Structures are given as structure tokens and as C-alpha cells.
Amino acid sequence: MTNILIIYTGGTIGMVNDPKTGALKPFNFSHITGNVPELKRLNYNFAVHSFNPTLDSSNMTPEIWVELAIIIEDNYSRYDGFVVLHGSDTMAYSASALSYALENLAKPVVFTGSQLPIGEIRTDAKENLLTALEIAAAKREDGKAMVPEVCIYFDYMLYRGNRSTKFDSEKFQAFTSTNYHPLAEAGIRLKYNEKYILPHTEKPLKVYKYFDTSVGSLKLFPGMDPRFVSGVLSTPGLRAVIMEAFGSGNASTNPAFLTVLRDAINRGVIILDISQCMGGTVTLGHYETSDELSAMGILSGYDMTYEAAITKLMFVMAQNIPLDEQKKMLTTSIRGELTKLNGQR
């Protein structure tokens, strides 16, 4: 039989109404079959690892990402796949971080959650959970995992974790993947888009257990005061920054603004340029307004999501490698998180 480990961190999916107070409270996930009797029909062996106490995803931290990675590492040989139940607000951050932490992953790690608690009549929790379990158990004809990567399943769509972002706080369709194709779609049957799924590897799993949080982010807006930018980039201990620029990576050509950026780079601060747009890619040097950025050494984040970019900064800064190698890693796809188009530098 297929063996699946459910890791419950917290979030809306694990809530039920307290009949006395009417307030939402976490239920004991070891009794999950009582709330989702359909699980018995899947004919899987599954175990539940529940965080105690459970976490609202707004309280997620890099230390918890490492804890998740270690749980998977410790149970890797005993289970065919893993389902992580997680609050939706920071799910894309956690899925992105786990994709970097788990190198040579050959088994599915499927994040899911819900917009309504599992005990509600109109809940999306049951479908999300049941299908996530099916995906975690799915195998190819050769017996290898169908989806050997970290992914997010929500509202009938399976996305690569580090290509996903939460874009709606109310609809059941809470996530999207603007710059990459869905890995699978759930209709009458599960339809896998195999050519977009990462290839299987025979290499042993390698787990990274540290993220460096000496990073920051700077979202540009018209009229931004260079003194504010200077204050951000002068933060003590700061090593790297995500700069959310306009369009295809463009920014103001104000000399005072550019001087602040150049001074930070000269101090060894890495600046990674991503777009504020949900779709498309950064193309430094394509317009005059980004030519100077490229010339001073600002790096292109290409088509990475914000969640993938900020967690990648934390991951790369944690590697004990020279600055040039860190820059190369940031601008190279290591887990399928970015795509370089022809002609991009």
C-alpha cells in the first residue's frame, strides 16, 4: 500500500466550530477520518504529524521551514509522499523555501489548505485534502513519483510551489502561477502536464537547514525619496535586497536614487531586481530606465515571484560560498523557479 505522511502546521483547513462558543478552534488531526470519512476509500496508509501548538501561517518563520524539511528528511524512506497542511496566507513562501531546502527531491511534497474550515458545509477543505493526497500518492508506470517536487494544490489546480502566489483572499481559487504552466488539473480525472514537471532524480536527498534573514525588500513607487531608499539600504547587517521595480525591471533615472543604489552595491549589498507585475519578466537594459541598473551590477530576478525571490535570497545568503558564486546562483534556475528567455543576460 501507498504510505503518505500528513504534516499539519495549522491554518483554516484544520478548524472546526466550537459548539459551545461558535468560535473556530483547531481539531485533533489524529482523528481526521472522523471529519473526512472519505479518506478510508483512498486505501492508503497514512500518518499525521501535527504541530503543537499549531501555527497561524502569519507566524511562519524560516526556523519552521527548517523544521518541516527535517520532518521530511527523517521520514523520507518510510513514505511515498508528503502532504503539508498550511495556512494559505504564507503558503507560497513556505513552498518556495522548502523547494530550495530539499535538493534532489524524488517524492511529492504537496502543500494545501482551504479558504473555509473543514467542518463548514460549503468547505473547500475536503476536496483540497483528498486530491492533494491522491497527487502525493500518484506514480508513473515505472513506479516513480508522478510529481517529484514541492507544489501547491488549491481549487482543482496543481502549481509548482516556487512559481505560485496567493492573489485572492476570498475566492476558493486563491492561488495562481502566472509565469509557469500548471503541473496538473483536477477535473473528472487528474490530468498531469508531465512536460512541465521536474525530471526524476536518482541522487540522494540533500537537506539544507539554515536560511539567512539578513535580507530586505524595496518596492519602488513614483516620487520615492532617495533618503528613504538610503535608509533601507543602510540597515545594519543587511546583505541582500529584493527591488520590486516597474514593468520589465525599470526604475527612476534620478541621479540621487542611482547613487544610493550604487553605493550599496559597492558596500557588497546584493540587489535583485524583480517586477511588480504578476506576469512577465525582467529584462535589464531593454529600456534606458534599466540600462544603468544593469551597468552598476544589479541582478535580474527574471520571472521569479516575490515569494520565490525573497526565500531564494535567504537560502543563497546562507550558503558559505564567495559573493560571485552567490550572484550566479541567484540568477540561475536551481529548482525550476525562473526562466531565462532567449537574449536575456
More confident call, 281 vs 1: 281
Question: One of 9, 12, 112, 176 is an active-site residue; which one?
Answer: 12
70 has a pLDDT exceeding 80: yes
* Cell triple for 304: 521569479
| Residue 61 confidence (pLDDT) above 90 | yes
Contact 152/108 with Cβ under 8 angstroms?
no
**In terms of C-beta density within 10 A (0-12 exposed, 13-18 middle, 19 or more buried), how is residue 141 classed?**
exposed
Total-model pTM = 0.95
pLDDT given at position 210: 97
Q: Would you state the pLDDT for residue 286?
A: 73
* pLDDT value of residue 14: 78
Whether the per-residue pLDDT at 284 is higher than 80: the answer is yes
pLDDT for the residue numbered 49: 93
Say which residues have a Cβ less than 8 Å from residue 45's Cβ, sequence separation at least 6: 1, 2, 3, 4
Predicted pLDDT at 160: 98
Active site residue 12: yes
Contact 32, 109 (CB under 8 A): no
Q: Using CA atoms, how far apart are residues 292 and 304, in angstroms rounded to an integer? A: 21
First to last CA, the chain: 48
Say whether 306 sits in a helix, a strand or coil.
Answer: helix
Q: What is the DSSP string of 56-109?
A: -GGG--HHHHHHHHHHHHHHTTT-SEEEEE--STTHHHHHHHHHHHEET--S-E
Q: Cell triple for residue 287?
A: 529600456
Cis (ω within 30 of 0) for the bond into 53?
yes
pLDDT digits (tens, 9 = 90+) for 90-135: 999 999 999 999 999 999 999 999 998 877 778 898 899 999 999 9
Q: What is the mean predicted confidence (pLDDT) over 155-177? A: 95
